[in-house]
A and B are shown apart, each in its own frame.
Chain A
């Protein structure tokens, strides 16, 4: 025991050899001159151009808001306008508000002495009329207003459009004379019908998003759509491109228009938006035209099994399944014949729905397949959120498949059901096909029957006559019709000649106009000879058809009758009539109106209409800056193909969902040029004493980093030298080519972004070639220190002179807009890396500063140069020791 204690003590002793340390201990202890809380300086000179987002940031900056509020309501409006316009109204305004922006963006890391030169746009001279248009109010015409214009519908029509200016109520808008309003109104292209019709606004569909079906897992989405199914676990929301389960969203009904914000998650192989995990679903309205479902995918047993193998997460799919309800306690499932493994499951069935289902019911259900649940770890349940349950299924196994294959004169024995009735007899259907039971009567649709008879033919159609017919009713069922084959006019014409053999009855549909006389015929557009004939119309069918009625007929095409010896009538035993739904479509339009003090007048402007946005690919129905700059000139070209030069147009458009604005464009003979009245200006701010202030003096640091910023200055000098000086300064005799990224008059090299003042290069190869006398610099290699020094000194003096001249000129080009300010001296300091024999090229930092004074608007004059550190002094003694 003693020994163990000793061991542990020795261990502890070794452990204590170390010492506890503060994070800064090391730095403070070992780094000479280290001050832990010493403010380190980060002095930078930055040139920054405001982006669209920056104007918005300036407008919403709290400091600026306070400034504006203190200045009054007009200033607040002006500040808000900066966001919309993307420019300032005046230079003063810019200098007032940019300061806070610079402070918020740079204050936390730039130190005193830093400068930020902000490039911004000012539109100071905008004509008053244009300004008034830009400030246009926004108004949507109310539904009641259209009647006042004499319109019978809730829209303006070609006959009533002229009344627009009269029906906009200024007592509501309260505009003053000279002010504008942008009006949104409904438009119907054609005069109104007198009958009551369903009104559908075209805009509705385009308001829905097109996100579902393509958004990926973990993508944050904002959906606008409608509720297409509800269950106790949530709702199915559908937009233009897909459907998704919004989990645990409650209190919604089918047909509600909703927005859903959330992140796409997955559960049991189905995508969902989960309200328990932050998704938010909000009702915004009701779908005006009700919910129509897409054509469902029919899932049979094999397909149900196949779904279990689904490997990836999927969106909800609309399906149709036939099966048998299996109730076990509170669980409601359904079995599908032919499915070996998979079981259908009603997902989130309401108690009411449950009460309508009994174990063993045969049903056809429609709904959204949304996920796959497991049993004992294996995928098993196909979860369906139902939209519709139809009782009864054709129990396919019970019927024969005789029809469709039996031949003429065959004695047949059929077990099937009655699928249509007519005064000429019913249609008998089994699993193989359908046939007319000619002149048989007394049966209803849905009667299950066994039939023994002989297959005969009449007018190219098979039928079973009454001769020798044995028919017995065995039960009843619910008929589900197969997908109807559409017969167009052309199809019908073709049938007249192509039908050379007898055929079985076929389920079809035809759209056209009923001709009701002794017979009921049916005209289908596009048919030149053929006509439909409602064969043996029952009273119920007759009651639904009126002469001239436009509708779609569904029924069994049984035979072709002749007229004047030529095939003409396509005989159909009709099962249902679907009247044509006439929808009246309004679209939205915009107009700009001006209040003159007593009345509105239509402004002479070019409005970008909703359809135009769609055509320009702006599905949102508005422009998002700066896309309008690209599209509007093209839009004008298209709208005014014969515009002449100097024609001026005002284009009014939406910038963002709710902001109206207007731009003035002039045609230059070929294209449209925006008159933005905008001038680009520059406001330099410097930080001193912790505060940012407007200061025209600028320090421009040209780091030798080959950055675009540095290159810009070097290149300006090179270009100036090329344009104004002897070409030998930028010309290489040996390669017989012009040097484009350097000039050897003053030594600016944009490739390296440094200033090359090497005595062995500039005079020897370039200055002499340009005719300068370089003899004063030749003895730089002399062993006589005084001689060598004199050569260097003379060379540096000359190089400085050259540089002073060229850089002053280059600054004049780059800062042509720089304005003289009364009573303020403006100095531009350019800091650069100087590369000489003694300094070398490896410093990698700026070594010297050159000062230039602004002497007139955009004109500079050289002042002086100095080294930024002692070691960079050009003529320091140590260079010659």
Chain B
């Protein structure tokens, strides 16, 4: 390995001899004289090329003897230009592209991609080249950290364990789409980024649309939308190989091969990658793979088929903030004692060894979620087309979940509890003493006290997304389509390690099984069944979700004006099948259905050639989720929430854009109201029935302004910057009244006593008092400034500085089963933090092979600042914060990419 590294360093010096011959420049515009951003300029038959900037301008240094270039852009006819091979400079002037009568480039469901100066939304795009250049050892979502409105952190610090918030909204309120296909989990709406950790290698572009965005289908785009577009048919013939190393044993290897488009209309590309290492955080070794296959066939000028499949199987050890994160005082006391001051924040409270000295972890995550989609593009005539994606996703994986006879035993698997380091199974050197668990179990006369289970969460997801587009007139375009999904999530916990005990009794969970639901529980001995490896504990159920949606959009374009209205309507249905708390006769729950809809509209006016303004407004009524919405206790009970409510979001946003040859600038302001956020609580009453509260009127207001710019005063310097200032607060106190399962009002006795009337004096209620409290969990102010230098041919060096402020500790008011009032204090405002990252790349040739050497150093000054923290509702300051996660210190990567 060391040799290879030396070779890479050596190679980088050979490349210095590559010399450019001709500089070709120009500006590319569309049929409306708007600049085309990202159009490619290629030397035919070579891999030399560049793309246009935000102003449509480009400059290409060609190799010796080049006499022609070709300009390409999606849905436009390629344009060829002769150039004088002997000239040193050649300006092609303004190039106006003609739309292709039949656009047949690619079968990507691009319906959700926004276009600058056309789609009236706030948008930021990161290109594949930038991802490759700046990602380094960062988590995939972190590539967006310098875009406005985004707060991305490493969460606990394990591989793939990252967290992204947009405009203060969490994962379940951010729509994530890969090639136009929604990937938010069907049961709770969020995204596990570890499922997609390897996707960075095949991403062609990553776009964030903040706010409601341009997505036409029903998607949870409250905070924003992240659109990831992967490679496809436009990959050129050839391939690449990448090898990289980094801090803490990080290694990565990627091989990609592509046939290009053959004469018979076939194209195929394959990518295989692997990334592994020990992890920056103690005991978080990981191994991730990444595979991607695309086969496309252009059947004729009207039909094209493309099959894309990709997946990123990974296994990694974690450090979950809530169960291994400490309070500030505990970091200072224990982490410093165990790790020394320099490495204290790398401490992982669940890292440890067993009796035989083997490393163990109680937090291991493994997942593989291949997504396969078959896309069909049918160009019906030059006015209309139908694009259809038939897709499936196969989720297979699990996280470790320590089980125990009692709740105390279960908690003992954790490294920390509410920020406090747990010492029950800890050695004096700070490592977790898994051997002591083994010894305890060995001595136990009634089987293991604590065992490890794998919490399996598998799923099968099938979907169909079809969009019909018709250019009704020159200025009016209609798109409409259907969006149908069916999803089955299989959830169970399987014992994988008895930790040296003879067997395990799951009486702690089985005692909650009611004989009327599961006849097995009628036998008093059933709960004492001796269980072994492979047996299921705690839960075993399937969540079924289906969704049927219709959507339509009308878009009207006049030379300088573009407007749209769109709407969607969908039905979401849920049921569950339980094999643990219910027997065969009772296994299926009732089916519940919810209707949801969205309505959006917007207008963009390019009032000068340089300036545009836009305005959009939208309304979403979103169906409750499977967990915490439709079902009261979705893991263990069929009990449904009889008056589950849709959450509603209203948003209005306006913006201004400026494009000059040297400066690109976007400024926008937004105002979003999030209404009737679901807070559902239920609790068992003394008469055995469930009491429940459905909070209504839990409202939040998120508003703010966002600015980003790119300034290019000279050819060798490019300055970018961003500032977003948010003001996100809860705007209401909420009150929820307590009802039983029959809908009868309950008194405070919580024993089934019916109150004298609904909302009568004796009708019990719970209050959540959080008016004017800041929304936690995400920095409300973020800023970035960066500069990229191009000191010489092939070399580029960048420095990027990011800062985060007004970040409030996260607090939870939902979830608990207590029906008590909650008085929320203003959460701890985490002090501001910032870090400087350096990137550099150098491109050169080794024979005919193009090589690029990349180097990244993140957090150059090794500055540890708090990125995430949580606190209880009544916390008063940093002393009360737990799960405090500090930023990583300095990390680095170096990689070489060869293109052939």
Could you say which residues of chain A place their CB within 8 Å of the CB of B717? 7, 10
**With A26-B833, A708-B406, A844-B872: A11-B789 Cβ-Cβ less than 8 Å:** yes
B6 at the interface (CB under 8 A from A): no
A interface footprint on B180-197 (CB within 8 Å = 1, 0 otherwise) = 000000000000000000
The residue of chain A having its C-beta at the shortest distance from the C-beta of B889 within the complex is A23
Could you say which residues of chain A place their CB within 8 Å of the CB of B439? 53
For B333, B407, B686, B797, the residue with the greatest tally of chain A CB atoms inside 10 Å of its CB is B686
B328 touches A21 (CB 8 A): no
The residue of chain A having its C-beta at the shortest distance from the C-beta of B768 within the complex is A842
A4 at the interface (CB under 8 A from B): yes
Stretch at the interface among A326-334, A356-364, A662-670, A734-742: A734-742
CB-CB contacts below 8 Å: A87-109 with B: 106, 108-109
* A835–B818 alpha-carbon span in the complex (Å): 13
Could you say which residues of chain A place their CB within 8 Å of the CB of B792? 4
A15 at the interface (CB under 8 A from B): yes
Option from A22, A23, A36, A219 in Cβ contact (under 8 Å) with B345: A23
B760 at the interface (CB under 8 A from A): no
A25 at the interface (CB under 8 A from B): yes
Q: How many residues from A make CB contacts under 8 Å with B?
A: 66
B452 at the interface (CB under 8 A from A): no
Could you say which residues of chain B place their CB within 8 Å of the CB of A835? 820
Closest CB in chain B relative to A593 CB, distance in Å:
33
* A741–B685 alpha-carbon span in the complex (Å): 11
A31 at the interface (CB under 8 A from B): yes
B822 touches A218 (CB 8 A): no
* A223–B383 alpha-carbon span in the complex (Å): 80
Could you say which residues of chain B place their CB within 8 Å of the CB of A475? none
**With A7-B716, A17-B836, A842-B820: A220-B874 Cβ-Cβ less than 8 Å:** no
**With A26-B833, A761-B749: A737-B686 Cβ-Cβ less than 8 Å:** yes
Option from A25, A263, A629, A842 in Cβ contact (under 8 Å) with B863: A25
**With A27-B332, A739-B751: A14-B821 Cβ-Cβ less than 8 Å:** no
* A181–B748 alpha-carbon span in the complex (Å): 71
Option from A7, A23, A29, A760 in Cβ contact (under 8 Å) with B341: A23
Could you say which residues of chain A place their CB within 8 Å of the CB of B262? none
Could you say which residues of chain B place their CB within 8 Å of the CB of A709? 408
A interface footprint on B379-408 (CB within 8 Å = 1, 0 otherwise) = 000000000000000000000000000111
A26 touches B864 (CB 8 A): yes
* A13–B878 alpha-carbon span in the complex (Å): 35
Could you say which residues of chain B place their CB within 8 Å of the CB of A38? 332
Could you say which residues of chain A place their CB within 8 Å of the CB of B716? 3, 7
* A330–B423 alpha-carbon span in the complex (Å): 61
A735 touches B831 (CB 8 A): no
B752 at the interface (CB under 8 A from A): yes
* A30–B829 alpha-carbon span in the complex (Å): 11
A470 at the interface (CB under 8 A from B): no
A842 touches B822 (CB 8 A): yes
The residue of chain A having its C-beta at the shortest distance from the C-beta of B684 within the complex is A751
Closest CB in chain B relative to A87 CB, distance in Å:
16
A83 at the interface (CB under 8 A from B): no
B862 at the interface (CB under 8 A from A): yes
**With A7-B716, A15-B836, A23-B344: A735-B686 Cβ-Cβ less than 8 Å:** yes
Could you say which residues of chain B place their CB within 8 Å of the CB of A840? 820-821, 823
Could you say which residues of chain B place their CB within 8 Å of the CB of A760? 748
Could you say which residues of chain A place their CB within 8 Å of the CB of B742? none
Number of CB contacts from chain A to chain B under 8 A: 144
A interface footprint on B73-112 (CB within 8 Å = 1, 0 otherwise) = 0000000000000000000000000000000000000000
A27 touches B328 (CB 8 A): yes
CB-CB contacts below 8 Å: A4-48 with B: 4, 7-8, 10-11, 14-15, 17-27, 29-34, 36, 38-40, 42
B861 at the interface (CB under 8 A from A): yes
A843 at the interface (CB under 8 A from B): yes
CB-CB contacts below 8 Å: A339-386 with B: none
B821 touches A627 (CB 8 A): no
Could you say which residues of chain A place their CB within 8 Å of the CB of B332? 24, 27, 34, 36, 38, 40
**With A15-B860, A708-B406: A841-B820 Cβ-Cβ less than 8 Å:** yes
Option from A21, A52, A106 in Cβ contact (under 8 Å) with B443: A52
A289 at the interface (CB under 8 A from B): no
**With A15-B836, A21-B861, A53-B439: A218-B328 Cβ-Cβ less than 8 Å:** no
B865 at the interface (CB under 8 A from A): yes
* A25–B866 alpha-carbon span in the complex (Å): 12
A7 touches B791 (CB 8 A): yes
A31 touches B345 (CB 8 A): no
A706 at the interface (CB under 8 A from B): yes
* A627–B838 alpha-carbon span in the complex (Å): 63
CB-CB contacts below 8 Å: A826-881 with B: 835, 840-844
B2 at the interface (CB under 8 A from A): no
Option from A23, A106, A706, A707 in Cβ contact (under 8 Å) with B864: A23
* A431–B749 alpha-carbon span in the complex (Å): 94
**With A11-B799, A30-B831, A706-B407: A18-B860 Cβ-Cβ less than 8 Å:** yes
B353 at the interface (CB under 8 A from A): no
CB-CB contacts below 8 Å: A294-323 with B: none
Option from B329, B408, B423, B872 in Cβ contact (under 8 Å) with A40: B329
Could you say which residues of chain B place their CB within 8 Å of the CB of A708? 406-408
B820 touches A31 (CB 8 A): no
The residue of chain B having its C-beta at the shortest distance from the C-beta of A108 within the complex is B428
Option from A4, A20, A31, A732 in Cβ contact (under 8 Å) with B328: A31
* A14–B838 alpha-carbon span in the complex (Å): 11
B462 at the interface (CB under 8 A from A): no
A841 touches B752 (CB 8 A): no
A752 at the interface (CB under 8 A from B): yes
CB-CB contacts below 8 Å: A245-264 with B: 263
A24 touches B797 (CB 8 A): no
**With A26-B865, A51-B443: A842-B874 Cβ-Cβ less than 8 Å:** yes
* A737–B687 alpha-carbon span in the complex (Å): 8
The residue of chain B having its C-beta at the shortest distance from the C-beta of A42 within the complex is B420
Option from B751, B818, B863, B872 in Cβ contact (under 8 Å) with A26: B863
A interface footprint on B416-431 (CB within 8 Å = 1, 0 otherwise) = 0000110100001000
B818 touches A752 (CB 8 A): yes
B interface footprint on A498-537 (CB within 8 Å = 1, 0 otherwise) = 0000000000000000000000000000000000000000
B interface footprint on A729-762 (CB within 8 Å = 1, 0 otherwise) = 0001011010101100000000010000010110
Could you say which residues of chain A place their CB within 8 Å of the CB of B864? 21, 23, 26
B873 at the interface (CB under 8 A from A): yes
Closest CB in chain A relative to B888 CB, distance in Å:
12
Closest CB in chain A relative to B889 CB, distance in Å:
8
* A688–B168 alpha-carbon span in the complex (Å): 48
A18 touches B836 (CB 8 A): yes
Could you say which residues of chain B place their CB within 8 Å of the CB of A842? 818, 820-823, 872-874
The residue of chain B having its C-beta at the shortest distance from the C-beta of A24 within the complex is B341
B358 at the interface (CB under 8 A from A): yes
B583 at the interface (CB under 8 A from A): no
A26 touches B831 (CB 8 A): yes
The residue of chain A having its C-beta at the shortest distance from the C-beta of B417 within the complex is A705
Closest CB in chain B relative to A869 CB, distance in Å:
11
A630 at the interface (CB under 8 A from B): yes
Could you say which residues of chain B place their CB within 8 Å of the CB of A641? none
Q: A40-B330, A706-B407 are in contact. List 4 more A-B contacts (CB 8 A).
A: A10-B787, A18-B861, A627-B445, A840-B820
What are 18 of the A-B contact pairs (CB < 8 Å)? A8-B789, A18-B836, A19-B861, A21-B862, A23-B341, A24-B341, A31-B831, A32-B878, A34-B332, A40-B332, A53-B443, A627-B445, A706-B407, A708-B406, A732-B687, A760-B748, A835-B820, A842-B820
For the complex of A and B, the 6 pairs showing the least CB-CB separation, nearest first, are A841-B820, A30-B831, A735-B687, A40-B329, A21-B863, A18-B836
Q: What residues of chain A have their CB less than 8 Å away from a CB belonging to chain B?
A: 3-4, 7-8, 10-11, 14-15, 17-27, 29-34, 36, 38-40, 42, 51-53, 106, 108-109, 218-220, 263, 626-627, 629-630, 706-709, 732, 734-735, 737, 739, 741-742, 752, 758, 760-761, 765, 835, 840-844
